[in-house]
Amino acid sequence: MVVFDWAGTTVDYASSAPAEVFDRVFSAEGVHFTREEINRPMGMEKKAHLRALLSTENGAAQWKQAKGADWTDADIERLYEAFEAELFRVVAEYSAPIDGVVETVGQLRAMGLKIGSTTGYTSQMMEQVLPRAASLGYQADCVVTPDVTGAARPTPFMLFECMRRLGVYPPQAVVKVGDTVVDMQEGKNAGAWSIGILTGSNLLGLSQAEYDAMPDELLERRKRETAERYRQAGADLVIDSIRELPQAIGQINRRMEQGEAAK
């Protein structure tokens, strides 16, 4: 089985929807983060993401300056309600599959692989995006959200739930594919193989327009730096785009035949 992340991996190039909504929610409070700061915790459950941003030195200082007091759990709850409402309103607009996803998933199914997905979105949010993605050609066999398991990434429990629902085991028979640090950690914590994707990824942090306009030398340097961050998080392989995934899985199969296991 291949277990994909959702935004930034299979749909919504560079996780634009959640990044944009985080920016809107904090800007309304007089707090401003760069896109790089917003992207850093991406892949986490969204309430944990809000907490992570406000726990940074910059976030804590801006909040105290804007509000005259340190942030509290009640502030997190209020921000999350605003975030969830806004994302729920716009998320379906960001559900187009990334270039190469539909064809690659077809190849994987032809190889006999099942397709799972784990995400930081809630099940209610996914009700908005799954039909849209399916209408455009991408549909997983199983999608698990943090509110279903009660535990988000980097814990392995959403991935384990995909395994349970689809009857796939042991974890060495599973490949986790994602575009964030916590995706790699999720796979590693489950005992599965982990593959990071560069193009369109949250970790690379470039919009489609920025990617296309960046000079080749600078782009390659950004990709090398991003690949190293994936590896430090436990990635077994890093690929340039999702189109390379069937070949990467073939490589993993050969490594397993030689007795090698995931990290």
- Please identify every residue annotated as catalytic: 5, 46
Residue 70, Cβ density class (10 Å: 0-12 exposed, 13-18 middle, ≥19 buried): exposed
Question: Measured between alpha carbons, how far apart are the two ends of the chain, in Å?
Answer: 18
Angle of CA points 60, 63, 68, to nearest 5° = 115
Nearest residue to 158 via CA among 173, 174, 169, 147: 147
Cα four-point dihedral sign 218, 222, 223, 228:
positive
The DSSP element (H or E) to which 177 belongs, if any, is strand 175-178
- The number of helices, as runs of H, and strands, as runs of E, in the chain is 13, 6
- Using alpha carbons, select from 249, 230, 201, 199 the residue that is nearest to residue 3: 249
